[in-house]
Amino acid sequence: MSNSEQARPVVIVTGGSRGIGAAVCRLAAARGFDVVVNYRTEAEAARRVVESCRQAGARAVAIAGDMAVEADIVALFDKAEAELGKVSHVVNNAGITGKSSRLADCPADVIRTAIDVNVTGAILVAREAARRLSTKRGGKGGSIVNISSVAAEIGSPNEYVWYAASKGAIDSLTLGLSKELAPDGIRVNGVAPGMVMTDIHERSTEDGGRIERIRPNIPMQRIGEPVEIAEAVVFLMSDGASYASGAKLKVSGGR
């Protein structure tokens, strides 16, 4: 691989085939990153994101993998490096909510699955990123951006407190890892979206009406767009945020 091919930084975006993840992939490509689009099952959606990234001038690949499975996480990084070279940035975005309900009515398997992806999986992704990016281990340095949620602060009562709890864990991960990895040339930050116009809301409720129920509680009285979250993520990966680590940027319409 020539030096010219390695001129652009390489970012892995977990859960990159739709919603916020897809918006991050597209914006990162437009801002000078080569992009690895991770997905679990939605191959066609991932292919479309890859095509958009390539149209923006980036090298881009789609790599399947379940971010709750350690072997898939390691394979994702191995394949990314084989395709695009050393990884320099990771967006820890893959996450699920499960169906909205009160905690007393939530099945244990829904809770376990959310924790497996949102907490254990995210920690394992961060661990692999630390191993690959660390300048002390032969990496290029770079940054990790963890996708949290405003739910970690408001608790999401009557909706999914288990999801809110999982995102509280992400906030702790961001804080602790930012201090641990600073000497390794790695910045670690978080972005906490509020209500954003993605299909996660339709998937998590029976009636699909969650967006309109929440809208009155948002001071800006509107729903965010995925690209507005992507702007925060790409900023935290950029040289413009070179002295930022351990930060959590809320992008929630004032909520």
Task: Please say whether the beta carbons of 89 and 33 come within 8 A.
Answer: yes
- 3-state DSSP assignment of residue 64: strand
List beta partners, residue 64.
39
Of 39, 160, 163, 243, the active-site residue reads 163
Task: Please say whether the beta carbons of 60 and 133 come within 8 A.
Answer: no
Question: Can you tell me the distance from the alpha carbon of 14 to that of 55, in angstroms, rounded to the nearest whole number?
Answer: 21
Long-range interactions of 100-105: CB distance < 8 A, separation 24+: 100/159, 100/160, 100/204, 100/205, 100/210, 101/159, 101/160, 102/158, 103/161, 103/162
Burial of 92 (0-12, 13-18, 19+ CB in 10 A): buried
163 is catalytic: yes
What is the distance between the terminal CA atoms of the chain, rounded to a whole angstrom? 47
**Residue 122 CA neighbour count, 13 Å, CB half:** 29
Burial of 69 (0-12, 13-18, 19+ CB in 10 A): middle
Question: Can you tell me the distance from the alpha carbon of 85 to that of 20, in angstroms, rounded to the nearest whole number?
Answer: 24
Residues annotated as part of the active site: 163
